[in-house]
A and B are shown apart, each in its own frame.
Chain A
Amino acid sequence: MSVFALRQPKELYESQKLAIWYFIVAILLFGVQITFGLFMAYQYIDPEFLYGKLSFMTNRTLHVNSMIVWLLVGLMGGVYWFLPLETGREVVGIKLAKFIWWVIVAGVTVVVLVYLFVQVGPGNAFTLWFINEGREYIEAPRWADFAIVAWVAIFLYNVIATALAARRITGLLGVLIFDLVALGALYSAGMHYTVNVTMDQYLWWWVVHLWVEATWEVLVGVVMGWSLMYLLGTPRKLIETWLFLEVALVFGTGILGLGHHYFWIGTPEYWIGLGGFFSALEPLPLVAMVVHAVYDSGAHRLYTVNKPALFWAIAQAFGNFIGAGVWGFMQTLPQINMYSHGTQLAAAHGHFAFFGAYVGTVMTLVYIAAQNARKHVQIPLDSKLWGWAYGLLIFSIIGVVASFTISGFAQTMIERAELGSTWNAFIRAYTHPWYANTHWWRFWMGMLFLTAYLILVWDLVTIGRKPAAAVEGAHD
């Protein structure tokens, strides 16, 4: 049995109890994300559906914002889960952590209600402060931005103070602290208003790209490192060596890889070369992660204390590589991006990458918590249902990605390559059968995804309730 699993006391740490709340809210917001995604998918089929009441832009805002929040909440929950195991003590400042958590939950509720019922505002500063900042992914009004920065700051304090109190700065903790400082600082870069749309997008990408392709990727490296130590008992030395290698490659390529968003926004031409070169190398660390995961689980012949978590961890390694690495590389070279930029191909990649890299990680963490949240910890954790949720979620997201990929190819060729990128060209592209037919299967794959989500929720509520032996017998 792994060292980390042995370190888990019977009674959960307060920090772990808080982590469970993080996971519950994350899973609920996952449901919100899927619901509004389905509304959009249906609007593609019938543009009159909810037209003017819950227009596409409102659904999209809720879809992407709830995603960013639930994934971040899930990753932070993972840190609250493992931090006491790593340091061997309760998290310092846990009261403050609980306080800010409920403030954030209340804040998110208010923001969602305002998005739903107020939706948009007049073109003035009041709107940006209290309704909607109108910048994709980070629409949250300014007051909520401050709450988010305070939240990350308290989180950072929890981590640093706990490490200091335990007199223990491991490689994992060092990377975590370094990464969280960057993550919080980057968010504040995205809070400013400027009329110059080029400068606006320049800084907006500091949040969007440098979060998902740099700081989140490293945060995932840390929590997945802990997860593998827990699941397989991988030695710390190996985990930390790989983590450092990943940080070297992720930051080494991803920071200047930012340039792949600066090809066409009015920024100087040198970004075309720099962005193309460094972003083309961004898949390298993702390959390294696959090698690591396969090697580790192979070395243990897939024997683990928690089956669903290990399977999600393996899916994460592959999903991250294929969704972010392959689908990202597909459109990152400037000569291709010139035509594909801002088409449905970007949505194909966005779905695949977020699912592979981040949903996979949060699912791993949630299953680890679910195992230990019960009175009698079942080892190895297993159930009949988790495999259905796992398989169907993966299958249906691939279906959604495939549909976006095909409509993206059609759009790129018809609107951009052939017809000169005008309004009319846009309409001619989305009415072409190659594009229009994908609307249907995207919607039905989305419905399947929803079904899989419901199975997942049911499994999380019930898994580990029965004594281990009975389940093992049933499974073998």
Chain B
Amino acid sequence: MDYSWIQISVAAVFLSVVITLVLSRGYGWFSRTFWRNAAVVSSLIMLFILMWLTFDTTEKVRPGAGQVPTWTVINHEIALVWDDTKRRQMPVIGEQTGFFGKVYSPEEAYALINKGKMTLQGRNCMECHQILGNGAYYAPDLTRAWLDPWWEERVMPMLGVDTREEAMKTWLQNPDKYPQGKRRMPNLHFTDEEAVALVAFLKWMSAIDTNGFPPRFGVAQ
């Protein structure tokens, strides 16, 4: 897009005020007509800008187009790296390592992540956790769950498995047996397929560039 947010904001406010004033010539600023015009004009201008930005945003959030990664990132290593130009953390896609010992084609990766997303919704994860910071506040935010050092530090030794995907899958299927902290996740009886798909979804989500949220992830101890 060719305009900065400041230009858009100033133009939106300026146009709303000027068009209202022009339409309301001859009416006092506290008349019903003046504010009726202001209501209609500002609503339409803001709505128009929202529509325009929605087209722009829709293009930019297509997987692979910008901040949202392609489906096949699940085949790769992912890391959060400090970006000194933007001065925030950015997800960086590393070399291809496969996922559960397999390299997924774009179609397969899409299907798997789709299954994961449906499972996430069907099991109502969002009513305890947050997804990209939105949801309930009882359980941890899942935006960067794939990148959480806790899997290596604690869950892998606890379960005796040696890859992160195995650890996540096994733990997701038995959260009641391996409580972390005082609040226990209920066993939602994920099938093997659903558990793998969920891990794929979480891995894909961890590669979304969220403008630096959550802040300083995994940096401090």
By a beta-carbon cutoff of 8 Å, the part of chain A in contact with chain B is 40, 43-44, 47-48, 51-52, 55-58, 60-61, 119-125, 127-128, 131-136, 139, 171, 175, 178, 193, 195-202, 204, 237, 240-241, 244-245, 247-249, 251-252, 255-256, 258, 261-274, 277-278, 338-339, 341-344, 346-347, 411, 416-427, 430-431
Inter-chain CA distance A343–B133, complex, in Å, is 8
Contact of B122 among A128, A269, A274, A423 (CB under 8 A): A128
**Residue pair B43, A247 in contact (C-beta under 8 Å):** yes
CB neighbours (8 Å) of B125 from chain A are: 57, 134
By a beta-carbon cutoff of 8 Å, the part of chain B in contact with chain A is 1, 4-6, 8-9, 12, 16, 20, 30-32, 35-36, 38-39, 41-43, 46-47, 49-50, 53-54, 56-58, 60-63, 66-68, 110, 113-128, 130-141, 143-145, 148-150, 153-154, 176, 180-184, 186-188, 191, 194, 197, 201, 205, 208-221
- CB-nearest residue of chain B relative to A426? B140
**Residue pair B221, A420 in contact (C-beta under 8 Å):** yes
Contact of B61 among A61, A202, A273, A417 (CB under 8 A): A202
Take A47-B183, A123-B197, A346-B137 as given contacts and tell me if A198 and B132 are in contact as well, using a CB distance cutoff of 8 Å.
Answer: yes
**Residue pair B42, A251 in contact (C-beta under 8 Å):** yes
Contact of A196 among B4, B61, B215, B216 (CB under 8 A): B61
* Minimum Cβ distance to chain B for residue A448 (Å): 22
Take A60-B138, A195-B113 as given contacts and tell me if A270 and B8 are in contact as well, using a CB distance cutoff of 8 Å.
Answer: yes
- CB-nearest residue of chain B relative to A57? B127
CB neighbours (8 Å) of A252 from chain B are: 16, 38, 42-43, 46
**Residue pair B132, A265 in contact (C-beta under 8 Å):** yes
**Residue pair A248, B121 in contact (C-beta under 8 Å):** no
Inter-chain CA distance A267–B124, complex, in Å, is 24
Inter-chain CA distance A60–B186, complex, in Å, is 14
**Residue pair B42, A248 in contact (C-beta under 8 Å):** yes
**Residue pair B123, A134 in contact (C-beta under 8 Å):** yes
Inter-chain CA distance A60–B128, complex, in Å, is 8
**Residue pair A124, B122 in contact (C-beta under 8 Å):** yes
**Residue pair B181, A273 in contact (C-beta under 8 Å):** no
Q: A43-B138, A198-B67 are in contact. List 13 more A-B contacts (CB 8 A).
A: A47-B184, A57-B128, A132-B124, A134-B123, A252-B42, A261-B134, A264-B212, A267-B67, A274-B8, A274-B9, A420-B217, A421-B215, A422-B218
- CB-nearest residue of chain B relative to A241? B32
Take A241-B30, A244-B36, A267-B57 as given contacts and tell me if A56 and B128 are in contact as well, using a CB distance cutoff of 8 Å.
Answer: yes
